[in-house]
Each structure stands twice: as structure tokens, then as C-alpha cells.
């Protein structure tokens, strides 16, 4: 018998919370729910869940603080943020704190399920289990400890950022498309219709960490019409 994935929903609006519980239970997930930030944080830190579905605006403790504290405790727990559609800064901030993906309100059941299924799948290519990525003498990434350095500056990374860098490094001989990254790193099925800016936001975040001039990247390049390519310093001359 297949074990059900356990999902914690933290949402203060009763109608939305009930609707999420009903939909996810119907699709075979084991669900618990919390209506306040403090209750949600306590449950999230228990280690009993595979995925945290987390609203941003919550009483007592907001979703950003919960995400931040959960990430410090558990780098691998899957987290999806529920955000207002017009609040791009919420999306960017949530992903910066380590959320895996986001769903904007109002959302369709189909879009919600796609994201839940993909984040729980968390596929990683076997060839991308690199321990260290060396982009130059000054830029090094420790994939195991989610850390690194850029010159004298110490860096920290989310698990999803490391997964993205690993996949790009494993395929550094060519550009990698957004669709391929969504499929291989985020776990979405191939050739699906999906509205998400998560790739672009993660690339922008990584450039701010790794590049001396993020607007003129040397390592993490955009190849027009083809996708993204990670070029360690030794490959620049050959490209």
C-alpha cells in the first residue's frame, strides 16, 4: 500500500482552508490544517509533513517568518507559498527565503495540484549530485552544506538553488530551457501549460549572489531563445 504524502495547510481564511483540505483529501493526500501562524509553525517544525502549503498573511506569525524558521530547521521540507496575485514582492521574498514554488490567489484547482504534485516529486537527475561547483578561483559553491563564497563574501543557498545550479553545471555544454528546468529540477510534467516566474526569480537571485555585476553576468548566462547556461571560468574562452 502506498503511503500518502502528508501536507500541512496554514491558512487563516476558513473558506479557503476548508476548500484546500477537501480538494487535497479527495486527491489522496493526508491533510492537517492550522488557522494561525503560531499553530502552523509549531506543526511545521514537528517533522511530520512532506509539504507545507503556507499563506503569506497570517495572524500572530506571518508566512515569511514561518518559511524562514522552517528552512533553518529543515532545508528539505517542500514549501509552497500562497500569495496575492498582484504582489510580486511577496513572490520574490518567499522564494528568497527558500520556498520551492508559489500559487497566486485566486488559483485554479488544476494549477494548485500541478504545483503540489511537482514539488512533492522533487526529481533530481542522478548526474547532478555534484558536491562542489567551482566557477572561478573566487567563486565556489559547496552543494552539500548549501554554502559558498564569492571573493571574501560568504554565501548561503536554498536547496532549490543548489538543485538548479547542479543541473546547469551537469549540462554546461549547452543552454538549458525553462521548460527543461521546470521538468527536471522542479518536477513538473513535460509540455504542460503553466504560468510561473519561479525560474526567472531563482536565476535573478543566483546572479545577485554569484556575479560581480548581475546585469552583466559572466557565469550564469541567458542564451536568447534557448534558455540558461552556467559557464565556469575555464569554459568561457571555448564558448
Interval 34-66: pLDDT, tens: 999 999 999 999 989 999 999 999 999 999 999
Asked whether 194 and 129 are in contact (CB, 8 A), the reply is: no
Residues 127-152: tens digit of each pLDDT: 456 789 999 999 999 998 899 999 99
Q: Are 176 and 168 in contact (CB under 8 A)?
A: yes
pLDDT bracket for residue 3 (50, 70, 90): low
Q: Where are the domains of the chain?
A: 6-121, 126-236
| CB-CB contact of 219 with 231 (8 Å) | yes
pLDDT confidence of residue 85: 62
Fold (CATH) for 126-236: Arc Repressor Mutant, subunit A (1.10.10)
Q: Same topology for domains 6-121 and 126-236, yes or no?
A: no
Cα–Cα distances in angstroms (integers) from residue 167 to residues 43, 80, 227, in the given order = 32, 21, 13
User: How many whole angstroms separate alpha carbon 234 and alpha carbon 201?
Assistant: 26
Closest CA to 219 of 101, 140, 120: 140
Q: What are the strands of the beta sheet with 51-55, ordered from one edge? A: 30-34, 6-10, 51-55, 78-84, 101-105
211/145 Cα distance (integer angstroms):
20
HEC sequence for the chain: CCCCCEEEEECCCHHHHHHHHHHHHHCCCEEEEECCHHHHHHHHCCCCCCEEEEECCCCCCCHHHHHHHHHHHCCCCEEEEEEECCCHHHHHHHHHCCCCEEEEECCCHHHHHHHHHHHHHCCCCHHHCCCEEECCCCEEEECCCCEEEECCEEEECCHHHHHHHHHHHHCCCCCECHHHHHHHCCCCCCCCCCCCCHHHHHHHHHHHHHCCCCCCCCCEEEECCCEEEECCHHHHCCC
Residue 143 CB: number of other CB atoms within 10 A? 21
The confidence score (pLDDT) of residue 211 equals 93
Provide CATH code, domain 6-121: 3.40.50.2300
Which pLDDT score, from 0 to 100, does residue 203 have?
95
The per-residue pLDDT for range 55-107, each reduced to its tens digit, is: 999 999 999 999 999 998 888 889 999 987 666 788 888 888 889 999 888 88
Residue range 112-125: mean pLDDT, rounded: 78
pLDDT 10s digits, 149-207: 999 999 999 888 999 999 999 999 999 999 899 888 888 877 666 777 889 989 999 99
Confidence (pLDDT) at 4: 82
pLDDT on residue 91: 85
- At residue 105, the pLDDT reads 86
pLDDT at residue 209, rounded to an integer: 94
Amino acid at each position: 500500500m502506498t503511503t500518502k504524502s502528508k501536507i500541512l495547510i496554514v491558512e487563516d481564511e476558513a473558506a479557503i482552508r476548508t476548500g484546500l483540505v477537501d480538494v487535497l483529501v479527495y486527491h489522496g493526500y493526508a491533510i492537517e490544517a492550522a488557522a494561525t501562524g503560531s499553530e502552523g509553525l509549531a506543526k511545521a517544525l514537528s517533522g511530520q509533513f512532506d509539504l507545507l502549503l503556507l499563506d503569506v498573511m497570517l495572524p500572530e506569525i506571518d508566512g515569511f517568518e514561518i518559511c524562514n524558521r522552517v528552512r533553518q530547521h529543515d532545508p528539505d521540507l517542500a514549501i509552497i507559498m500562497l500569495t496575492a496575485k498582484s504582489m510580486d514582492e511577496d513572490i520574490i521574498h518567499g522564494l528568497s527565503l527558500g520556498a520551492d514554488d508559489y500559487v497566486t490567489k485566486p488559483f485554479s484547482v488544476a494549477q494548485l495540484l500541478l504545483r503540489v504534485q511537482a514539488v512533492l516529486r522533487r526529481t533530481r537527475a542522478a548526474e547532478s549530485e555534484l558536491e562542489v561547483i567551482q566557477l572561478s578561483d573566487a567563486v565556489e559553491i559547496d552543494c552539500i552544506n548549501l554554502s559558498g563564497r564569492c571573493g571574501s563574501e560568504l554565501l548561503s543557498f536554498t536547496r532549490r538553488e543548489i538543485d538548479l545550479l547542479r543541473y546547469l553545471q551537469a549540462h554546461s555544454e549547452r543552454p538549458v530551457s525553462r521548460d527543461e528546468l521546470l521538468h527536471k529540477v522542479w518536477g513538473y510534467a513535460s509540455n504542460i501549460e503553466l504560468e510561473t516566474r519561479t525560474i526567472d526569480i531563482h536565476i535573478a537571485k543566483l546572479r545577485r549572489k554569484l556575479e560581480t555585476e548581475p546585469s552583466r553576468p559572466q557565469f550564469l548566462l541567458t542564451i536568447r531563445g534557448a534558455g540558461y547556461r552556467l559557464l565556469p571560468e575555464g569554459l568561457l574562452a571555448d564558448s
